[in-house]
Amino acid sequence: MSAPSTAQRTHTTTPHDPGLSRRTLGVPAITLMIIAASAPLTVVAGGVTTSFAVTESLGVPLGFLLIAVILTVFAVGYTAMGRHVTNAGAFYAYISQGLSRPLGVGASLIALVSYNAMQVGIYGLFGFQLSMFLEAKLGVSSPWWVWILLCIVVVGVLGVNRVDLSAKVLGVLVGLEFLVVIVFDVVSFSAAPEGVSTAALDPSALFGPALGIILVFGVAAFMGFEGAAIYGEEAKDPKRTVPRATYTAIAIIGIFYAFSAWAFSVGVGPSAIVGASQEFGPDLMFVFMTEQTGVIFSDIMTLLFLTSLFASLQAFHNAVARYFFSLGREGVLPAWFARTSRAGAPWAGSVAQTAIALVVVVAFILGGEVFGGAAGLGESAFLFPVLTMFTWLTNTGAMGLVLLMAITAVAVIGYFARDRRGLSIWVTVVAPALSGAALLWVFVMILQNFPLMLGQAEPDATTFLLPGMVFAAAAIGIVWALVMRSRSPRQYAQIGHGTEPGAYGTELVDVVAE
């Protein structure tokens, strides 16, 4: 083998690139970042009312519990594999090692598209809500996109700093979210115009014709729970911290959302919750609290709704940055993406995500303000960032992540088929198979109901283009992996194995072409 040339070298370790920070995050910190991604107040205010309105069923609370059960079963194999594969690429690494490297690279691009779509989509709702709040309370009229651009800067600054700083900020915001939702729950049970009814807890309300749609709209509330594995390299004890954080987050999210959805039905009344949700949408929570507690507390809730969105933006930003880091380290993307700061933050990946957010937001600004997209909505023109950016992108992201989880469940079976490592057949086969089948069914239901999720009376171009982004990403990733296999076998061999002995270890090393 000849000496490596400059062109053959993908990266040279320097003191300025120490890799991700190690032994930084404990169970509470990772759990809080997972919960922040799911945005509790946003789910209760927006997700619960949307589910009641669209499904016209009282089965929404039990739907959250059923999804939590499915994801808990999924986590059995997912966390078991995580004890043996620690990689910031998570889904990408698991599928690479459990199925094949080409499928792993395809999965990595699905993950990048999905996490970016979730993150950028939430900006649309954030900018709209803040603009409307300022206009209502201060009489200040401002474009929705101004606040998005400012928020992108703040999220980007936090993203290039130590991850524990983000965790502390998110911890405070999530704590406030939980507090205000708990107050809402208490007020709901106090109001109870029809008494503390258990109608929404009747299994027959869930297991009926609306079951599939309830799960389709409910599963998005859990997106981000799988993120514990993304922080595995930064966890204090990956083999214990990641599983504990995953199970803790699923339990907290599932029980909290189910209880709050039940409280919502009690507060408004089981016979009225569907109609009220259809009339007021996400504003129902704030209308209800204004009637019950006054304007001041409702305004506080609105502010915390905004911080809930901000916390979710930060959590998804962190996830994208770590995916970029993992793919850059292993040669799937240019090595620049693997650069980290002295503090161990994946600053290059963070900058890349910030740039993507900026480009997509500018595209929506131009589409709405310059090319007449907003005007085309008629009386709903002011809702442009919600009806397009938020609705299109977050639903696309949720769809892609559900698909990734279904494939990962199969990858767990493939990984342990070679060596069960002393684990039971429940952990290595049965749990992954059951959860994989359930998640695949949910994914198919999402595809079938995608026009409904986008609020479309009839399918149009976006009905096919948005899911097409996910499938196109998978195809491009698979083809790129095959190109790598023929052009650079050694780099190809590193796919999904970047943290193992003999690969990159705890530092970046030169990759030399054979």
pLDDT, average across residues 428-447: 95
pLDDT of residue 497: 81
Q: Is residue 56's pLDDT more than 50? A: yes
pLDDT of residue 19: 54
Determine the distance from the C-alpha atom of residue 263 to the mean position of all C-alpha atoms in its chain, rounded to a whole number. Answer: 25
pLDDT, average across residues 480-496: 90
Tell me how long the chain is: 514
Locate the domains of the chain by residue range. Answer: 27-136+165-303+383-494
Torsion of CA 456, 461, 465, 467, to 10 degrees: 30
- Looking at every residue in the chain, the average pLDDT score rounds to 85
Distances (CA, A) of 210 to 280, 358, 446, 451: 21, 38, 13, 16
- Structure confidence by residue, pLDDT tens digits, 350-368: 999 999 999 999 999 999 8
Q: Is residue 308's pLDDT more than 80? A: yes
Nearest to 358 by CA among 120, 110, 114, 112: 120
Tell me the pLDDT band of 280, cut-offs 50, 70 and 90: confident
Tell me the pLDDT band of 475, cut-offs 50, 70 and 90: very high
Q: Is residue 153's pLDDT more than 90? A: yes
pLDDT, average across residues 281-288: 89
Amino acid code (one letter) for 467: P
- Structure confidence by residue, pLDDT tens digits, 365-389: 999 888 888 888 888 888 899 889 9
Tell me the pLDDT band of 73, cut-offs 50, 70 and 90: very high
Where is average pLDDT lowest: 27-41, 136-150, 223-237? 223-237
Q: Is residue 65's pLDDT more than 90? A: yes
pLDDT of residue 29: 76
Place of tokens 């499928």: 103
Instruction: List helix spans (H) across 330-420.
Output: 347-365, 384, 391-418
pLDDT of residue 360: 96
pLDDT, average across residues 251-266: 93
pLDDT, average across residues 155-179: 78
pLDDT of residue 184: 93
Distances (CA, A) of 19 to 16, 503, 510: 9, 14, 14
- Looking at domain 27-136+165-303+383-494, its CATH class is mainly alpha
Q: Is residue 15's pLDDT more than 50? A: no
Range among 36-50, 214-228, 411-425 rated most confident: 411-425
Tell me the pLDDT band of 311, cut-offs 50, 70 and 90: confident
pLDDT, average across residues 486-496: 88
Torsion of CA 125, 179, 300, 381, to 10 degrees: 20
pLDDT of residue 514: 31
Where is average pLDDT lowest: 90-94, 238-242, 460-464? 238-242
Tell me the pLDDT band of 21, cut-offs 50, 70 and 90: low
pLDDT of residue 239: 76
Tell me the pLDDT band of 418, cut-offs 50, 70 and 90: confident
- Structure confidence by residue, pLDDT tens digits, 181-231: 999 999 999 999 999 999 999 999 898 888 888 898 888 888 777 767 767
Percent of the chain at pLDDT > 90 equals 48
